[in-house]
Amino acid sequence: MDVRYPAEPFKIKAVEPIAVTTRAEREKHIAEAGYNTFLLKSEDVGIDLLTDSGTTAMSDRQWAAMMIGDEAYAGSRNFLHLQEVVREYYGFRHIVPTHQGRGAENLLSQICIKPGDYVPGNMYFTTTRAHQELNGATFRDIIRDEAHDAQLEIPFKGNVDLNKLQALIEEVGADRIPYVCLAVTVNLAGGQPVSMGNMRAVKELCTRHGIKVMFDATRCVENAYYIKEGEPGYADKSIRAILKEMMSYADGCTMSGKKDCMVNIGGFLCMNDDELFMKATELVVLYEGMPSYGGMAGRDMEAMAQGIRESVDEAYIAHRIAQCRYLGDRLTEAGVPIVRPVGGHAVFLDARAFLPHIPQDEFPAQMLAAQLYLEAGVRSMERGIVSAGRDKKTGEHHRPKLELVRLTIPRRVYTYAHLDVVAEACIALYKHRDNIKGLNMVHEPKVLRFFTARFEPLK
């Protein structure tokens, strides 16, 4: 095996069978799902790359931790342990547990945003922007321009353009910017990281203007790995130390524990501000539960505490990044267009370059995801015009420059052999790409339409 792709740093001691289906069966399943991979039944999916959210294979120590769950309604010892671990590894003073990341996004948006505010961020994320807009804010993209070019291979494409941030402050005033939402890494740019220097500079600029910085820390460990690998001065530092420094440049964060905390459910909102913490604890009771459990059971909080410790293991995170690169390298060698460089949690097919004959209004990424399922039973996710939704004022489609299909690799689930199957399916589709046609949307939900929209193939 090529030394660039290290062997799995774990042994497999439990297995789950996966579906083996025929082409005819898959044609029936995708039609029933309205050509939306979210609506497929998992029992009809072979290799499931829909998301890395909640799909982690937990370790034996995490499963053991679940057996000591304290399910007390208030004051659970598991919450106290999780709080201790979060403070130790991330450095924030306060933690409010939630059922998952979007619960934390809801709390943050409600306690910080007032109608007419602006929330700048390094590219939008679907649920994050939805909560911001529902509370009266306007999202403003301040990511560097290079992030919108799928084929441009430069490091730290997730960085904030400081000139864009400064221009927004001058345009609307700092008092109308409750916080900067800084994603580490940037999902919809292709899992692209943010440099430590950029985080530091954003924090310094915001501090001068009295603006808070809140991280979307969902994949922060992956970001730390890229800093260790590619930023001068960090090669000899541990992932744990890099992570702690990263968090020092934020006033708080939202966290979906279903990603880098390595659990199947749960999340939290962190902050250092005492007043914001009190507001969050008052609101969490309304939406989630007591401040000492939020939306999680005690056993889930204990598994999360253990997962945070395991997430900074150097062998684990090196293998995780290597798996993504292995799939990306196989596709690149075959000429299949992907987002470059390969990100930390997924490989993103560049549907705009893959299917240039399909206009964006005919949903090329949505169709490419459906075709990948038809080809090999591989489930992936559209990340293009469907995910971008509509402008809340004009009603027109948001038209992102990036029209992508996300091949998301769950943590500790699949082997390189599974990724070979995915690569071969993508390569086969690319060879016959001219035969693929677009889609018509026949059912469109008003909010977060990509989850439940339905489509029909164009004739």
Active site residues: 73, 125-126, 216, 259, 383, 450
Q: Give the separation between CA 267 and CA 449, rounded to whole angstroms.
A: 23
Number of Cβ within 10 Å of residue 31's Cβ equals: 13
Are 189 and 143 a contacting pair, CB within 8 Å?
A: yes
Q: Give the separation between CA 220 and CA 271, rounded to whole angstroms.
A: 16
Query: Would you state the structure tokens that stand for residue 415, as one six-digit string?
Result: 């082997």
Q: Give the separation between CA 393 and CA 42, rounded to whole angstroms.
A: 36
> What residues contact residue 190 under an 8 Å CB cut-off, 6+ apart?
150, 157, 339, 340, 342, 343, 346, 348, 402, 404
Q: What angle do CA 36, 418, 374 make, to 5 degrees?
A: 30
Helix (H, G, I), strand (E, B) or coil at 286: helix
Cis preceding-peptide flag for 400 (omega within 30 of 0): no
Q: What is the CA radius of gyration of the chain?
A: 21
Q: Give the separation between CA 17 and CA 448, rounded to whole angstroms.
A: 31
> What residues contact residue 128 under an 8 Å CB cut-off, 6+ apart?
105, 121, 181, 216, 254
Query: Would you state the structure tokens that stand for residue 217, as one six-digit string?
Result: 């820390």
CA quadruple 144, 147, 152, 153: dihedral sign: positive
Environment class of 143 (CB within 10 Å of its CB; exposed 0-12, middle 13-18, buried 19+): buried
Q: Give the separation between CA 283 and CA 344, rounded to whole angstroms.
A: 33
